[in-house]
Amino acid sequence: MTFSIDFNLVHRYSCGPTVYDHAHLGHACSYVKFDIIRRIITKIFGKEVVMVMGITDIDDKIIKRANEMNISPVALARFYEEDFKRDMEALKVLPPTIYMRVTENIPQVIAFIQQLVASGHAYATSRGNVYFDIRSWEGRYGKLRQIYIDEEEEMAVDSDKHHMKDFALWKAASPQEMCWDSPWGKGRPGWHIECSTISSLVFGQHLDIHTGGIDLAFPHHENEITQCEAYHQCQQWGNYFLHSGHLHVKGSVKMSKSLKNYVTIKDFLKKSSPNQFRMFCLRSGYRSGKKNPYDEKLGGPVHDLLLRCMLCIFMSEAELKGFSILRFWREMTDFLGW
């Protein structure tokens, strides 16, 4: 399905989770910040946001974790996908208009790659891999991070790529790995092609807003732009790329699963409320890095600011309804449980 041009609609694509583990506060910070922006676009500017979120439900990490747990990658991915959705609901993050799983769009991914090959922007190798030919896009690659192609870059000894910066569109399957048939043999999609395909299926050759963490700007979003503009033969595929800052732990170290320094959303919400976390996110620009709310003692300044906002709302509503101060105070204390 695709949406026709409507200036009251805002088309937004969000990189969703790779579903192999519980979501942590770094993920939460990004999704909450963009949820606040979405609400501003809708409630302040009166635009309807049509939002698609891609779910990466096949990936090296998913396969590795499934093997460790002796379950199928599909079962693992479905469990953590639902777990992620419950976490977002707990944080009061509005759901997207539609979730789209990679594994349910494999034929469309293959067709996307075939067109890139046919137009000379991609090539298949004897090993069954397919890569985007970065030199076919020379002069236009690197819009987000000004990446330059170095013809003198050395290749890895065992690589079947033509150029160091060429990136995978289709990955040949390893033995006993979840895979699909394709014109190049059994395999599965590369990471970047998933989002390009899913977004293009819904929005076609034009996207208003693309969101994700700052770590996705390169190479993920950079490669998405390259693929989509080559596929659609357009000058500009996406209008705005919004990247949220990292959540930092102990100075400038980002919270991440690979560093094993994360706090899950579930553990956090055992001690703090969703509203406190949303206020914590609201206290800085979406691109700004944030300290771990555990380090900031969230119950102090954030709680006070949240309480002042609640008081302001109650007083405004009381005035509009013509409540007496006494009645307002009774309703407020009842609401707060005092």
> Which pTM does this prediction carry?
0.84
Tokens representing residue 7 in the block: 């200036």
What pLDDT, on the 0 to 100 scale, is given for residue 143?
83
> Any idea which residue has 């690589």 for tokens?
159
- Helix, strand, or coil (residue 338): coil
pLDDT, residue 338, reads 45
- Give the pLDDT confidence score for residue 133 in this predicted structure: 95
Q: How far apart are CA 279 and CA 286, in angstroms?
A: 12
Write out the chain's pLDDT in tens, 338 residues.
Answer: 444 457 799 999 999 999 999 999 999 999 999 999 999 999 989 999 999 999 999 999 999 999 999 999 999 999 999 999 999 999 999 999 999 999 999 999 999 999 999 999 999 999 999 999 999 987 888 888 777 776 666 666 678 999 988 999 999 999 989 999 999 999 999 999 999 999 999 999 999 999 999 999 999 999 999 999 999 999 999 999 999 998 887 766 778 777 777 899 999 999 888 988 888 888 888 888 766 565 555 555 555 555 565 556 555 665 666 655 556 556 555 544 44
User: For residues 50 and 209, what is the distance between their CA atoms, to the nearest angstrom?
Assistant: 10
Q: How far is CA 49 from CA 99, 325, 329, in A?
A: 14, 39, 38
Describe the crossing of helices 274-282 and 301-321 by its angle, rounded to 10 degrees: 100
Do the beta carbons of residue 261 and residue 12 sit within 8 Å? no
In this structure, what token pair is assigned to residue 130?
């397919």
If you write DSSP's letter for every residue of 64-115 in order, what string do you get? Answer: HHHHHHTS-HHHHHHHHHHHHHHHHHHTTPPPPSEEEEGGG-HHHHHHHHHH
How far apart (Å, rounded) are the C-alpha atoms in residues 27 and 38? Answer: 17
